Amino acid sequence: MKDLSLERFSLEAASSAPVPGGGGVSGAVGSLAASLAEMVANLTIGKKKYLEYTEEFETIIKKLEELRIALLNSINEDAEAFKPLAEVYSLPKDSEGYEQKMESCLRTAAASPMNILKLTSKIIDIDERLAVIGSKISVSDAATSIMLAHGVLYGAYVNIVVNTRLMKDKEYAEKFENEAKTILDDYSKKALDIYNQILQRLKG
């Protein structure tokens, strides 16, 4: 699914097919957030004014490439995680082992958006640095990256909750959801702070 053209992917997302859904689309948008951040780094590295940061930019570019690829892969991973859950939904609720199968599938389905959430938080950390050392002519792209990532946080979180709310193991569900909520709260605020920091840099 990650290898579909952008046009085809958007058509698939618009259709009645269950995937790509919110999780897969969040992964796709997250990869674009990483792409824009990577572009800022590539446009800045080697420029005379920023030569002192060359080694740091090399590290940043490598990390962002890894994040971009991981988030692209998450599109397929999210679709694969949903398949067994869809199969269990089609079973009679009184079938043998139904509850155990459902619980296992819900955990797998929740793990995918959690991965997207964590990967995206790393992009925000890097954007924070790019807001300071990125070239001013491209730092608006870092601001765009940060707001794409901001949206992904919420998309990933709600796709965690849609699974944890159905889990029978409430202790596990609460712990898992709380971990996600902490990341959401911390990084959504951080993203907005960085965005405003970039705006002020551009205006100043």
On the question of pLDDT at 36 being above 90, the answer is yes
pLDDT given at position 87: 87
Unique residue bearing structure tokens 């139904």 = 98
What percent of the chain has pLDDT above 90? Answer: 78
pLDDT, tens digit (0-9, with 9 covering 90-100), for 111-156: 999 999 999 999 999 999 999 999 989 999 999 999 999 999 999 9
Domains of the chain: 21-203 (1.20.120.680)
Q: What is the pTM of this model?
A: 0.93
Whether 75 contacts 27, CB under 8 Å: yes
As a whole number of angstroms, the distance between CA 154 and CA 173 comes to 18
SS3 labels along 43-91:
HHCCCHHHHHHHHHHHHHHHHHHHHHHHHHHHHHHHHHHHHHHHHHHCC
pLDDT, tens digit (0-9, with 9 covering 90-100), for 89-117: 888 888 888 899 999 999 999 999 999 99
On the question of pLDDT at 159 being above 90, the answer is yes
Whether 25 contacts 55, CB under 8 Å: no
